[in-house]
Structure 1
Amino acid sequence: MTSQNWLDLAQDADTGIETLRAHFVGHAYDPHWHDSYLVGVTEQGVQQFNCRRAKHQSTPGKVFLLEPGDIHDGEAPTADGFTYRMLYLDPQWLKRELGAVFDNAPDNSELSFANTLASDARLAHAASLAFETLHGGELKIIRQTALAVLLERLTSHLHWRTRYGEDPKLPLVAQKAREYLHAHAHQDIGLDQLAAATGVDRFRLTRAFKAAYGMAPHAYLVQLRLATARRLLARGEQPATVAMALGFADQSHLGRWFVRAYGMTPALYRKRCSNLPDRQAPRL
């Protein structure tokens, strides 16, 4: 991270919601995804990102809404960079909290945002207020009230969609490959192995996968492992242990990918989300 870039990350102990405020100049982060629903507000500058096969520009006051699995990147197209604040909402928490509103969920469905970018001043205000109360550690009743207001505003931007399954718009080979990667994410998977599992040669597999999901299979596998790494680090696992468990060559290898995707080191993420000190491995 350059001297121009900074970030401030915290996690609410009661809800598990992560809150992030950050500033980036130039390139911010490589394409990646999260297991959470992301609700963010741009404070300053132009926040440019690619998501769902479209390029978006979020300017001050706009709200960006990303679902779990939405691949996105980030950059500042202007010299002054951009500043934003973000809430990472756990899917189970969101579904549970909205149960009273969406009490008749269709079978095999999940909550979905209608649009990636929204011009909704009331939603922007509600998201900012929720961020401030959680990030600042306000009294529990204040945090809960702010979240209730945020959820009320979010309902007009949410709908039910069919849970991931066979999508007629995507090549079946790409969907089979994705399922295989999810089922064998901790293994040292080769392209030949993945191609054999999908019944095509590796060249057609790579073309189909990249066309469907916006990245090659190897890049998707790395992002899948990084999403798992975030969960383990937030629980207090050591970066070296996480790297070994997820098939990275070593802690440095995990660290390089983690910084490219999230703009911070695994150790910093663990410290901010678990509130545990980082222990150095003993020297032999």
Structure 2
Amino acid sequence: MGSTSQFEFFKSDHVPSLTVLKAAIGDFSYDRHAHEEYALGVTLAGRQDFFSGGQFHRSPPGNVILFNPEDVHDGHSGGEQALDYLMVYVHPDQVAPLFEDALGRPLASPFRSQSTLIQDSRLRQAILNVARMVTHQVGSCIDQENALSHVVERMVQLGGNMASSPVARRPDALLNHAKAYIHEHLETDISLDDISNAAHLSKYHFLRLFRQQFGMTPHQYVINCRVNAARAALDQGAPLTEIALRFGFTDLSHFNRRFKRIYGMTPYQYQRDITR
């Protein structure tokens, strides 16, 4: 990461899993990755260029960027002006009751927005309000939950994919077996054979299907999941070296490099930010 880029994380004191990133990016580019949370961003200045959902997007100031959980994406500054943006992260389990309330019915599966790049002043302002409360530690738990509910309500009003009983194709089901196997074995030394066997597919057929379906290779997905799990361990205050070894990084330097490509800062810097 060059000196022209700055990243700062803030964690809510009240709402579990609610985190805000403020970023100013010059020469930094994110590796292709995915989060387990909803990621709701607002471009403040410059232009935000990124790939997601099989498409290349350009977000000018004022636009909202919405990544559903496990949406694969990358990102970098576009144009000549430095990029300034913020992102609100929240785990789907945290907001599931809010979605159910807004929809007026139970969730059969997590809500998924149909749009990635959105021009909507009400959603933008709702996201900015949540970010302000977290970064400035304003309001009680119920105040921040209420602010988050306004974001959810607007997401529902703008539309999403909420099929009550989705019918999965067989390849999708097999690949989901592979993903489940990966998540269950993040702390072990798994091989491509292990993962493809879990999906009941030949190694080469599995590689092709996985990359086509998820936009990254199985190796990239394993690294991504380990970095995300490591971030959760950092949130709990676990020691850096212990985390690195637990999730299969050869040493702290290797952990630093992988983490920085997804979160823009080292694990130490992230843990310092969210525990201040």
The alignment's TM-score, normalised by the length of structure 2, stands at: 0.90
Distance 1:137 1:62, change over 3 A: same
Tell me the CA shift for residue 180 of structure 1. Answer: 2.3
User: CA RMSD of the aligned region, Å?
Assistant: 2.4
Distance 1:90 1:194, change over 3 A: closer
Within 5 A, what are the aligned runs for 1:1-284? 1-16=1-16, 17-107=18-108, 109-140=109-140, 143-144=144-145, 146-159=147-160, 161=162, 167-168=168-169, 170=171, 173-275=174-276
Query: Tell me, what secondary structure is at the counterpart of 2:20?
Result: strand
- Asked if the contact 2:99/2:111 (under 8 Å) is kept, the reply is no
Tell me the CA shift for residue 148 of structure 1. Answer: 4.2
Q: After alignment, is 33-42 or 73-82 more displaced? A: 73-82
The alignment's TM-score, normalised by the length of structure 1, stands at: 0.87
Tell me the CA shift for residue 163 of structure 1. Answer: 8.9
Q: After alignment, is 254-263 or 85-94 more displaced? A: 85-94
Tell me the CA shift for residue 186 of structure 1. Answer: 1.9
Distance 1:166 1:31, change over 3 A: farther
Deviations 1:81-116 (A, max 9, x none): 311011111212211234432341243x11111211
Tell me the CA shift for residue 261 of structure 1. Answer: 1.0
Once residues 20 and 101 of structure 2 are traced to their aligned partners in structure 1, the CA distance between those partners, rounded to angstroms, is: 25
User: Per chain length, whose mean CA-contact separation is higher, i.e. which structure has more relative contact order (CA < 8 Å, sep 6+)?
Assistant: 2
Query: Tell me, what secondary structure is at the counterpart of 1:101?
Result: helix
Query: Tell me, what secondary structure is at the counterpart of 1:100?
Result: helix
- Asked if the contact 2:14/2:144 (under 8 Å) is kept, the reply is no
Tell me the CA shift for residue 169 of structure 1. Answer: 8.3
Amino acid at match of 2:214: Y
The residue number in structure 2 matching 1:278 is none
Query: Tell me, what secondary structure is at the counterpart of 2:162?
Result: strand
Distance 1:143 1:209, change over 3 A: closer
Listed as ranges, the gaps of 5+ residues in structure 1 are 276-284
Once residues 220 and 164 of structure 1 are traced to their aligned partners in structure 2, the CA distance between those partners, rounded to angstroms, is: 27
Listed as ranges, the gaps of 5+ residues in structure 2 are none
Once residues 9 and 208 of structure 1 are traced to their aligned partners in structure 2, the CA distance between those partners, rounded to angstroms, is: 35
Once residues 164 and 230 of structure 2 are traced to their aligned partners in structure 1, the CA distance between those partners, rounded to angstroms, is: 24
- Asked if the contact 1:39/1:88 (under 8 Å) is kept, the reply is yes
Q: After alignment, is 136-145 or 44-53 more displaced? A: 136-145
User: How many residues were matched structurally?
Assistant: 274
Amino acid at match of 2:122: R
Q: Which runs of 4+ in 1 moved over 6 A?
A: 163-166
